[in-house]
Structure formats: structure tokens, C-alpha cells
């Protein structure tokens, strides 16, 4: 083999180096030790992204199953409100005349908010309200520079009961971050036919013939009220009473009046009418929606 002149040798070395660089570039191989090609980086990151999304979905699911808590109104909202409950995407206000549910949808392509009111038609004025089951949790409202305007150490309750909303009828509110239950507790001998609910802030209302559910269309989507579960306690267990909703008014406008139709039952025993309002979690509409503030610990607290 002939010896190359210094000039030819230098040209050969440069040619080899340039060829190597071009090959590395087009083959997507590392240009420096330890560097990973972009495509490989994306593939490596995908399982991590999927894992984060799955953890977020699980966290939101757990949050939705947590029981809601109720605060007495100690000046943190309008004076007509007796109790309130707050969660991500909703605020619930309770008075002796019914409930108001403010819903916010996370998707900007839809209207931002809907206010659904459930009024107890013909209810008594000023029924006594009380919180049941102190959770031990406390809420503090520190706003502004005036301590006199602060509201601190506000207790939280599992349930709220209004006694005597109708003659011989109480109502108890409870639920979780997806559903609101409100039990009408009818004393022996009292008349359940006096109970009727006026829903306002809706676009339409109808009763689904297949499921028996009440479907309420709002600005942020559909809110369902499950078929009423009506029961009495007999021999230590629940005995279901056949029941259904009756749409007193068409519900094609902004409100609808709904009552309950019941089969025969023992009027010497207490009767419970248990409708469940399903409003969804409103925790996030798309997989990219953030939920930084939601976390559930091992004991099930948010």
C-alpha cells in the first residue's frame, strides 16, 4: 500500500468525518455520547404521560365519590342561605324553600355556568334547619384587611335537615361530589301528595319512559334525577314502594313542576321518598384539563 502525502491524508480524514456526520444525522443516531434521538425520547416519554393521565383520572374519580360537606351560613354568603356546600365545578345553597345549584362547565366551547333551582312548591315558611354529623373539618374565610369581616372556624356537616317543610314532612340533604340526595321523610299519617318540586333555570324537562328518570337540560348540559326510591322500614329492612314522577307542567320553558305518584303503603309507618340528582363531577371536560388542587389521601379526605 502506497504511503499518502500529508495533504491527501488530511483530505481523506476530512472526507471520512463529513461522511460520518451526515450518516449519524440522517440515521437519527446520537451525535454525542449519551444523547438520545428525539423520536426515541418521545417514545420513552409516552408511557409517563399515559401514567400521569391515568393517575389524574383515578384522583378525579375518587374525589367524585367523596361525600359533600355543608357549612352553616355565618355571613360568608347571602343572608337568605341557611347552609352551603362548595366543590370543584359547583356550589350548592340550601334554604327552607329548596336548593340552588350553581354549575360551571370546564369546556370553554360551552356556556360557562347554569343555575338550577329546586323550589319546594307551597312549602312552609321558616322551617328549622340543623347540621347533622359534624365532620370535624373547619373552613376559614380570610378576605380583606378587616378581621371583623373574616369568618373562621366554620363547622362542616355530613347532612342538613329542615324540619316541617310541609305538614308532617322533613327534608334531609346529603350526597357526594357527583350526586345530591334529598330525602323527604313523611311522618305516619302525613300526606306525601303535598310535595311538589319546581325546577327553574332549565331549557327543558322530560321523564324518560324507559328508566323513569327526570331529565333536565341546562346551559351546561344534562342533569338527571334518578327514578325516585321510596321505601318504608318493615321488620328491620327496607320495603320499596312503587313510585314515579309526574310532570305537572310541560317543562318546555324555563321551569317545570314535578310531583310524585306512589302505590299503596302503610300509612301508620314513616315513609321516605329519596330522589337523587346526578349533576356529574364537573371536574374537567377534557384530558388536558388541570386538577392541581384535587388529591385524596388514604383515609378518603380531599
pLDDT in tens, 225-252: 999 999 999 988 999 999 999 998 765 6
C-alpha cell at 97: 324553600
Kindly list the distances between the CA atom of residue 238 and the CA atoms of 13, 229, 241, in Å, as whole numbers in the listed order. Answer: 91, 11, 9
Check pLDDT > 70 for residue 286: no
- The domain ranges of the chain are 62-278
Residue 248 to residue 51: CA distance in whole angstroms: 50
Query: H or E stretch including 217?
Result: strand 214-218
Residue 254 to residue 82: CA distance in whole angstroms: 25
Task: Name the band, by pLDDT with cuts 50, 70 and 90, for residue 67.
Answer: confident
pLDDT for position 182: 95
Q: CA torsion sign, 272 to 278 to 282 to 284? A: positive
pLDDT in tens, 148-196: 888 899 999 999 999 999 999 999 999 987 899 999 999 999 999 999 9
Amino acid at each position: 500500500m502506497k504511503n499518502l502525502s500529508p495533504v491527501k491524508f488530511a483530505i481523506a480524514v476530512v472526507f471520512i468525518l463529513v461522511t460520518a456526520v451526515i450518516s449519524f444525522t440522517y440515521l437519527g443516531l446520537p451525535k454525542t455520547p449519551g444523547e438520545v434521538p428525539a423520536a426515541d425520547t418521545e417514545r420513552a416519554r409516552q408511557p409517563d404521560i399515559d401514567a400521569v393521565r391515568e393517575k389524574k383520572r383515578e384522583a378525579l374519580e375518587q374525589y367524585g365519590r367523596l361525600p359533600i360537606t355543608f357549612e352553616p351560613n355565618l355571613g360568608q354568603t347571602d343572608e337568605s342561605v341557611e347552609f352551603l356546600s362548595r366543590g370543584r365545578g359547583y356550589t350548592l345553597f340550601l334554604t327552607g324553600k329548596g336548593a340552588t345549584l350553581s354549575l360551571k362547565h370546564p369546556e370553554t366551547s360551552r356556556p360557562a355556568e347554569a343555575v338550577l333551582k329546586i323550589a319546594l312548591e307551597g312549602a312552609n315558611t321558616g322551617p328549622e334547619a340543623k347540621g347533622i354529623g359534624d365532620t370535624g373539618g373547619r373552613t376559614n374565610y380570610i378576605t380583606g384587611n378587616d378581621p371583623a369581616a373574616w369568618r373562621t372556624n366554620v363547622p362542616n356537616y355530613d347532612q342538613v335537615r329542615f324540619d316541617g317543610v310541609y305538614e308532617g314532612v322533613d327534608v334531609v340533604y346529603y350526597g357526594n361530589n357527583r350526586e345530591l340526595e334529598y330525602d323527604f321523610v313523611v311522618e305516619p299519617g302525613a300526606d306525601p301528595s303535598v310535595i311538589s318540586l319546581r325546577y327553574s333555570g332549565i331549557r327543558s324537562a322530560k321523564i324518560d319512559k324507559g328508566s323513569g328518570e327526570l331529565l333536565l337540560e341546562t346551559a351546561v348540559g344534562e342533569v338527571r334525577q334518578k327514578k325516585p326510591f321510596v321505601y318504608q322500614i318493615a321488620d328491620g329492612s327496607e320495603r320499596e314502594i312503587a313510585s314515579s314522577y309526574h310532570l305537572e307542567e310541560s317543562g318546555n320553558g324555563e321551569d317545570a313542576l314535578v310531583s310524585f305518584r306512589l302505590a299503596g303503603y302503610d300509612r301508620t309507618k314513616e315513609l321516605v321518598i329519596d330522589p337523587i340528582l346526578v349533576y356529574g363531577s364537573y371536574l374537567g371536560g377534557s384530558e388536558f384539563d388541570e386538577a392541581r388542587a384535587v388529591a385524596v389521601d388514604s383515609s378518603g379526605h380531599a
